[in-house]
Structure 1
């Protein structure tokens, strides 16, 4: 199969799980013998633009005509079987969908966030859940509240893009890949066409080794931001420390807006270590030596890469009991869930997972089995290719666009033969 991946890479100043997912999917497909080309823009390149060029960037968010032209030319020349769209903000824009239509190439898109129903894609405002724009034809609340970067002016291009391109997305993409059932359910409830929404979890590379002992630390691995529950974790850990601790330290790895606060909080403590930003190898090592990975996110996460990475290493997780975490973590089997936003609940779950080593190891083994069944590269490849074949079949008339898409396999197997034929046009 010949696939063209379309992606606007996020800034390299902060680690991006989305960039990682894109790179790993490209590598997975290529290793399986598929031809994969990439059409991309990089947010890092904005800094090198002239002042007028920088000023023009917000104007291109809803529609970038030069990208439409460039991509259409590329598609006519290379004739891929399918285009896989990831992020289009801020330099690509939904004009990529028009290019696919111009060239007659079917498109699929992975929904890494909630940008189809929320201009900044987070469903959060002022530190809490916000759904004011969900189901609204005109996303004015986002502009009024300045939901993107706390700026009304910065939010306007995103709101305009959502307003003018909503139908283009819904009609121009044959299959949307939701990365959790929780995400799909919310998008369907908001009015998105359910027949186009399939669940395809992100996969995680096999680390090659599983934890062999009880572990030596609790681990928070991620962006140091309010939405990720960092302050909640610090409050819970202070309560744990006041009660005598759990016998192992808390390690925090990452970077973000709360870095100075975390650094000051951890300074001079024996029970806390802030280690800064880890590279991928260091992340794998830290996960593999953890008693548990802690994911206390305040946001409705669409997936949860760090939890899946812990599963791959045979490590249980303590996670917030909402969003995608409730389908990643089976309570008491592969980890523990705490009440979202509740430091007392989080502290009790951390104490429990650290106090029962035998039970912890059992949960770790169950987590590894769950990984092998749902989040391994083999499973990821199968679901990805089946999704492509379904999209190709629908576009070529060999599939049924009304097929229930909540079950990726059901819709994809039915169109697989037509997809293979369509790939030879």
Structure 2
């Protein structure tokens, strides 16, 4: 197949699971003999724009006519079988969907977060899950300044959500949700159930697996409140060094200074900072357990599946996508969301030696059944073929 991938890449200054997923899918398709074309913008480019250019960025978030024209021309010239849309914020806009319609090329889109019903895409505000805008207009988002803490900064995304609501519902042949939990919420919000399909992300085999009992408890990800970092620190203080292994935290984010200060001078905690992919794989393969205590409703939970691939059990909250990723008591343990005592108890229970080894082996088997590149490729191509075959059937009629 010939596939054109549309994606606005996130800033390189912070790790992006979405960028990684897009790159991995593209490499997977190419390795399987499919032709992958790219239509991208980079958020890094905003810093180098002129002042008028920077001022125009928010104005083009809801609709970017120049992008529509450029993409339509590309599609007419290159005639891909399908367009796969990922992120369109802030430099592309939903005008890419109009370009697909202009050229008569079917579009699919992966919904990596909750942006169709939540301006920042997180369903998280003031330290708690927030669904105030789900199923209605995004006025609460503007009132609370949900994007970057600013009402003014929130307006472009809110305007895009309102102006393009029907386009996302009718202009995309298939909307890939990355978990059943995400799909269920979006269907409740009024998005078309017949177009929303679950396509879990896949994870490349890391090529290294845990041997032995593991050396540490690992938190790997963005150091932000919604990722449950403060919850984990509170739970760890309750454990008071009783687990016999240290806690390693790796990543960067708005809570980096707080995390580094909390870890400083402690023998049972190490802050490793931001690591490259190889460093992340090594830390994961040496872990006794991976902790993913997110307080927001994760749409997938990549770090949990990466732990599975390395034969490492995970501890995660019983909400969002985690209950469909973690088989509670078999491949890891689920704790009560937002509850430090429950998280501490789960960490203690998952480190029982015999149980921990059995959970790690079961986690690897679960990965092999559902999250390998082979499974990911089959699911991706099935999604593409469903829309190209529908288009062919309509042409015959």
* Structure 1 residue aligned with 2:388: 392
Question: 1:250 is matched with which residue: 247, 251, 258?
Answer: 247
Deviation sequence 1:50-80 (CA, Å, 0-9, x none): 0111011000000000000000000000000
Residue 363 (1) aligns with residue 362 (2): no
* Structure 1 residue aligned with 2:230: 231
Deviation at 1:398, TM superposition (A): 5.5
* Structure 2 residue aligned with 1:174: 173
* Structure 2 residue aligned with 1:86: 86
Deviation sequence 1:119-152 (CA, Å, 0-9, x none): 111111111111111111x211111111111100
In 1, the alpha carbon distance for the partners of 2:343 and 2:375 equals: 32
In 2, the alpha carbon distance for the partners of 1:398 and 1:284 equals: 46
Deviation at 1:397, TM superposition (A): 2.9
In 2, the alpha carbon distance for the partners of 1:319 and 1:216 equals: 19
Deviation sequence 1:342-394 (CA, Å, 0-9, x none): 0000001111112x111111111111111011100000000000000001122
Equivalent position SS for 1:25: helix
In 2, the alpha carbon distance for the partners of 1:327 and 1:214 equals: 25
Question: 2:378 is matched with which residue: 361, 365, 382?
Answer: 382
* Structure 2 residue aligned with 1:70: 70
* Structure 1 residue aligned with 2:51: 51
In 1, the alpha carbon distance for the partners of 2:179 and 2:313 equals: 19
In 1, the alpha carbon distance for the partners of 2:391 and 2:96 equals: 17
Deviation sequence 1:263-307 (CA, Å, 0-9, x none): 000000110000100100000000000000000000000000000
In 1, the alpha carbon distance for the partners of 2:135 and 2:100 equals: 27
* Structure 2 residue aligned with 1:202: 201
* Structure 1 residue aligned with 2:149: 150
What is the aligned length? Answer: 396
Deviation at 1:396, TM superposition (A): 2.8
Deviation sequence 1:233-274 (CA, Å, 0-9, x none): 000001101xx4200000000000000000000000110000
Equivalent position SS for 1:397: helix
In 2, the alpha carbon distance for the partners of 1:284 and 1:176 equals: 31
Deviation sequence 1:64-100 (CA, Å, 0-9, x none): 0000000000000000000000000000000000000
Where does 1:104-183 land on structure 2 (aligned, <5 Å)? 104-136=104-136, 138-183=137-182
Unmatched 5+ residue regions in structure 2? none
Equivalent position SS for 1:195: coil
Moved over 6 A (4+): none
8 Å CA contact 1:83–1:105 kept in 2: the answer is yes
In 1, the alpha carbon distance for the partners of 2:391 and 2:158 equals: 30
Deviation at 1:37, TM superposition (A): 0.7
The RMSD of aligned alpha carbons is 1.0
In 2, the alpha carbon distance for the partners of 1:396 and 1:255 equals: 47
* Structure 2 residue aligned with 1:412: none
8 Å CA contact 1:174–1:394 kept in 2: the answer is no
Equivalent position SS for 2:84: strand
* Structure 2 residue aligned with 1:414: none
Residue 329 (1) aligns with residue 329 (2): no
Deviation at 1:315, TM superposition (A): 0.4
Unmatched 5+ residue regions in structure 1? 400-417, 419-425
In 1, the alpha carbon distance for the partners of 2:62 and 2:81 equals: 26
Residue 372 (1) aligns with residue 368 (2): yes
In 1, the alpha carbon distance for the partners of 2:393 and 2:222 equals: 44
8 Å CA contact 1:71–1:99 kept in 2: the answer is yes
Equivalent position SS for 1:84: strand
In 2, the alpha carbon distance for the partners of 1:11 and 1:339 equals: 33
Residue 308 (1) aligns with residue 305 (2): yes
8 Å CA contact 1:8–1:42 kept in 2: the answer is yes
